[in-house]
Structure formats: structure tokens, C-alpha cells
Structure 1
């Protein structure tokens, strides 16, 4: 399946269950990059606008770029305002005017891009020596609830590729990031545990790109497995999923 269509059947679950990002990460970006109402940020692979919203909250003007039509519809319904411009385009060909962007962000999306073409597009867009910021929420893979979650994916989901993908993307590795930035980048990590009720926990599990969709013969069995996992770890109707928000940034 074309990667841009992977989430088309999961948009509502995605928007309702995917977490935001650590306040410390957002504060760091605002202070380090002096983000204000004169700052233009291109948020690439914006999805339903989870990170886009946080950038708008920092006071910036944001150009959200997302190729999936269903996600763009959700983004537009949730966030449309005069400070937001939306391009239904791929990361490698955004159709943003050249040299008009101060900062580029890619939250939970860099691993889907053609990295060489994306890098060329970043160089075209930036109006100076502004940073490219690559951001992930990444679950702590050796924590028991995350180990058991990965086991369910392994049992039911042929497209699940193990702990690297589970922790934030098929190609989310520092080797890839170092290559993209030619070895010169900064990394910031923020503890960001995620608290879910039962519906939120299950929806988050089902929103993964590799999760089965309704209609698959194993979908109901997989869903029940996630419900049972929640019941095993829940206290007072909630579970806490160990997670970190991670920022990589550099100049290209």
C-alpha cells in the first residue's frame, strides 16, 4: 500500500488517541529558535495536526503539509485559522514558495520520507540557516506493558517489524538521522509518560500503521487482546505507558 494511504481507515482513532508532545520539548524549541508571531514553520507530514496545533500555540505561522486527504480534512476541521496554511502535498514536493520558511518540523513522520528528496526540499524552502527538527514520541520498549503490546502486534500484524518500528518508525535510528544531518545534530529527550483510559489505549494501539483494520479476520481477536492487556495493567481505570518525546535538530 502507498504509505500516504496507510492511515486513511484510522484517521478518527489517530486524531483521538495519538499523544501530544512534552511541554519541555515545546518550551525548548520556542526559546532556542526564538519562535514568535513573525516565525514561519513548515510542519511536514502533519497528519491530523497534533504537532501543528502545538506550533500554533507557540504563536508561529504554520504551513502544514500532508499528502493524505482524510487526514487533511481532519486537520482543516480541527485547526483552520488565519495563522495556518495547508498543502495537501508530499514531503518531497510541498509547493511552498522557495526561501520562505524559518523552521522545518517533522513530527512522527520523517521515517516515511524519501530522505534525499526531503533534504533537497528543505534546502529549497529555508530562507536562511534555520533548523530542521525531527520529533518522535517513542515508547520505552523494555517496559512490561510495551513489551506485551509489541507481542500482540507480532502475533497479529504481518507488517510489524519489531522494536525499532514500535519505538517511533521503521527507519527511526540515529544512523539515519546522522546521515541526514551529515553528522552534525543536537538531541533532546524529555520524559513523557502517557495515561490512557481503556478506549484510548485500544484506539492508540489500533491507530498504528501496521495494525489490522476492521474487516480483517483477526481484527476482533487482536482488539480483545489489547483490551485484556489494558485490564491487566489498569489501576483506577487508567494505564500509564512509559514514553519519551525526542527532538533531533540541525542545519542542512
Structure 2
């Protein structure tokens, strides 16, 4: 299989963002677990693998639907947060890049990627994961925006929405007009084309689901600051010695809060080997 020759792993992509996730990111809704349980006929058996699990946000939501769960991520700080959040839940955490799979992890009923596949060597990972799926297993791609809500005028909200356009402009004022990503940049945004990659790797599908949300969440100034610092495009290390100045200006921009946001729907694509 041809490889994506433009792809190169960058260990700084999410450096320093892990501690901000639990504060700044909106939790995945329980309805997502319900939708996957029904779509995949989950009955508490089989194994779950979450690739690029971050701090375990989705792993821990889905783990009760399986007999065992494994989360893998290359960032050690993410796994520290995942272990802390897991408490006594019997989830295995491994520091691994997706490209290092199968890594003797065995076979799985479900392998899930949530906001992570676009950071990987997609053809290689798709090929390797296909060999790790049970015969009736499924690859699940979860697409969600969890750091910010729906950006439309909504007079029914009890508080103002965070001024995301001004926040984005402040980030650009400090880091430049081209979106940053670790040691590189993303002038055209993150890669798409996942459907073509999956079909080329021999998968069938996808079955598409939308998990509607729409609930209104109240967010403090600290929540919004953490949301900004949880992003690869505005991770603390990108600001170098101007980080404190950036946070100071961001807090001045936000003021005292509070803010309201309406949560975004979650999109799911299910592929079969």
C-alpha cells in the first residue's frame, strides 16, 4: 500500500495540553455510548481499543460496554490524566504511537478513533488496525468539536457566548495567521480524505450516525482559557516566553464571565473489515 509521504510524526503536537482537557473540553454525551451500543449490538463482551485516547475521555465512557478496554496515546501527560480519571476502572493504558500497532495488544471487537486519525499515518494505521479487528468487529471514527459550542446567534442563551472570533484573532496576533501545529503549520487545516483511505485499506461502509446534543452549558473564564490551551494550535509551548502575556491578554478579553454555549452534535462513522 502506498504511504502518505507527507506525513511525519511530531511529538510536540499536544505537548502541555493534557492538564487543560478536563477543564476546557466538553464531555462526550452518554447518548454517544447508547448509540454505539445499539449500532454495534454491544453486550458487555469483547474488547475495546481507543487509539489516540488522550486523557481517556471517550475510553472511559465506552469501557463499561466491553469486557476489557485499552487506551493508547503517545503523550505521557495524556496517560497520566487518563489514569487519574479512570480511578478503579480496569482499563489498560499504553504509551504507543498508532503506527506502532499491533504492539502485541491482541484482537478487538471495536477500535475507536476520536478526533485523532487525521494526526496519523492514515494508510499504515488503517492497514494495521484492520488485522486487529475481530471478524465481526468495527472501526469507529468519532468526529466532534468539544472545545467550543455552536457558533450561531442564540438569544435564548442565559449568558453571552465566548467571543471565539476575537479569541482566534488574539491567537493569530501572537502566533501568526497560519494555524500552528507542533513544530509545523497547517495552512489548509487538518487532512481529510479518510473515506478514501479506509476503502483503499479494504474496509466496508461507512454506516453514519449523528448523536444530537444541543444542551446549553455554562462556562467560566477558566473553562474557556483551558479550552484554548487544550488545542494543538494554541498549546502553551508555542508562545515560548510570551505565554504569560498571552494568557493575561486572553483573560482581559474574556472578562469575568460566565458564558453559555450550546453543545455541538457528534458524528460517527462505522467501518467494517
Asked if TM exceeds 0.5, the reply is yes
User: C-alpha offsets along residues 105-141 of structure 1, whole Å, 9 cap, x if unaligned?
Assistant: 0112111110011111211211214221111322567
Among 180, 185, 210, which residue is 2:197 paired with? 180
**CA apart distance, 1:160:** 1.7
Equivalent residues in 2 for 1:27-176, closer than 5 Å = 27-79=34-86, 81=88, 83-97=90-104, 100-138=107-145, 139=148, 143=152, 145-158=163-176, 160=179, 170-171=190-191, 173=192, 176=193
**CA apart distance, 1:77:** 2.7
- Between structure 1 and structure 2, the one with the greater Rg is 2
Report the CA distance shift for 1:141/1:17 in structure 2 as closer, same or farther (over 3 A).
closer
**CA apart distance, 1:41:** 0.9
Q: Which has the higher contact order (CA 8 A, sep 6+)?
A: 2
- Aligned pair count? 241
SS of 2:240's equivalent?
A: coil
SS of 1:9's equivalent?
A: coil
Distance in 1, matches of 2:61 and 2:97, equals: 21
TM-score (norm 2): 0.75
**CA apart distance, 1:212:** 4.5
1:220 and 2:263 equivalent?
no
Report the CA distance shift for 1:89/1:83 in structure 2 as closer, same or farther (over 3 A).
same
- Unaligned ranges ≥5, structure 1: none
User: C-alpha offsets along residues 176-218 of structure 1, whole Å, 9 cap, x if unaligned?
Assistant: 1221232831332333555421111111111111114266243
SS of 1:210's equivalent?
A: helix
1:199 and 2:216 equivalent?
no
SS of 2:144's equivalent?
A: strand
Q: Is the 8 A contact 1:46 1:65 kept in 2?
A: yes
Q: CA RMSD in A?
A: 3.0
Instruction: Indicate the residue corresponding to 2:261 in structure 1.
Output: 240
Distance in 2, matches of 1:188 and 1:229, equals: 37
**CA apart distance, 1:143:** 3.5
Distance in 2, matches of 1:248 and 1:194, equals: 26
TM-score (norm 1): 0.81
Q: Is the 8 A contact 2:48 2:63 kept in 1?
A: no
Distance in 2, matches of 1:105 and 1:40, equals: 11
SS of 2:137's equivalent?
A: coil
Distance in 1, matches of 2:167 and 2:265, equals: 17
Distance in 2, matches of 1:123 and 1:79, equals: 27
